Structure formats: C-alpha cells, structure tokens
C-alpha cells in the first residue's frame, strides 16, 4: 500500500461551522420559547433556563470566533500545524467524512484541541490529497513534542 502524498491545507473558521452553531442556537431558542408558552406562569426556573441558553449560545459563538487559522500539513510521516510562522506537531483525527465536508479534530501538544469543518473551496486542487492523507492514517495518533 502506498502512503498518501505530502499535502498542506488551510484551515480556519468555516461558514458551515457557523451554520451548525446557529442552527443549534435557534433550536435552543425555539425550545425555550415553546417551554415558556406552555407554562401557566413564568418563574425563576424559566429565567434560569433562558440564562443557561444564553450562556451556552455565547460559548458556542465565542468558540467559533476564536477558532485558529493556519495550515495543516502532512509530510508523509506526521501532521503539523503552521500559523504565524510557527510550526507545531499535531494529531489529526478524521471524525466524519461526508465527501464534500470533513469534520477534523486537531490535538495540539499542550493537550488543547480544536474542531474544524473543512470544505474543498479552501484549496480545491489539494482536496483529494488531504482526504487521502486523512483516510490512510491510523485512528489513534500520538502527539510528540
């Protein structure tokens, strides 16, 4: 079996990720409104639910806004993340492959992890190479500093 070719692919915030976050925020709001409309009286429990929904929505949007941008590179032996002229090794895990959209989880040496929705429009010429590199790797990859 041949190994996947070396490839570098830009990652960052995606509109698809924002759409997913927005959909869950809207569903949570609809559930809150439905719950409040079905109740006889509104009380502290309802206000607590609204506050928790707002807190969760804020965290989700903050996570999306602070998603880092950089290049994910496969050398044929390991993955690395390059951003602002600094490169660090990462573990790249393919979570879902929907052919035209990938969900990746990158684990950095300091145990931080980020999730990325990746689409081919970021680098169409390198899309298939990225998919080959991600699908030809073992499921568990250790990060070594």
Answer yes or no: is pLDDT of 1 > 50: no
Residue 1, domain member (yes or no): no
Is residue 118 scored above 60 in pLDDT?
A: yes
User: Cβ distance 119 to 101 under 8 Å?
Assistant: yes
- Model confidence pTM above 0.75: yes
Return the pLDDT at 6: 87
pLDDT score recorded for residue 89: 92
Which pLDDT belongs to residue 3? 67
* Domain-located, residue 116: yes
Query: Is residue 108 over pLDDT 80?
Result: yes
- In a shared domain, residues 106 and 58: no
Provide the CATH number for the domain around residue 80. Answer: 2.30.29
141 within a domain of the structure (yes/no): no
Identify the pLDDT of residue 11: 93
Domain count, the chain: 2
Q: pLDDT per residue over 55-101, tens digit each?
A: 999 999 998 999 889 999 998 888 999 988 889 999 999 999 888 99
Residue 23 is assigned to a structural domain of this protein: yes
Domain that holds residue 43: 15-65
Cα separation, 81 vs 47, whole angstroms: 43
Verify that 54 and 108 share a domain, yes or no.
no
- Distance (Å) of CA 104 to CA 17, 39, 47, 87, 124: 12, 41, 36, 18, 17
């Amino acid at each position: 079996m041949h190994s996947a070719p070396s490839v570098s692919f830009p990652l960052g915030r995606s509109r698809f990720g924002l759409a997913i976050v927005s959909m869950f925020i809207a569903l949570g709001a609809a559930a809150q409104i439905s719950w409040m409309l079905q109740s006889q009286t509104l009380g502290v429990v309802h206000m607590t639910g609204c506050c928790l929904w707002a807190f969760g929505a804020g965290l989700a949007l903050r996570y999306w806004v602070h998603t880092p941008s950089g290049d994910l590179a496969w050398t044929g032996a390991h993955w690395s993340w390059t951003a602002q002229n600094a490169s660090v090794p990462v573990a790249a895990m393919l979570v879902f492959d929907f052919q035209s959209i990938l969900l990746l989880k990158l684990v950095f040496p300091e145990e931080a992890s980020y999730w990325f929705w990746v689409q081919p429009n970021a680098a169409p010429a390198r899309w298939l190479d990225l998919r080959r590199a991600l699908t030809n790797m073992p499921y568990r990859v250790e990060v070594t500093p």
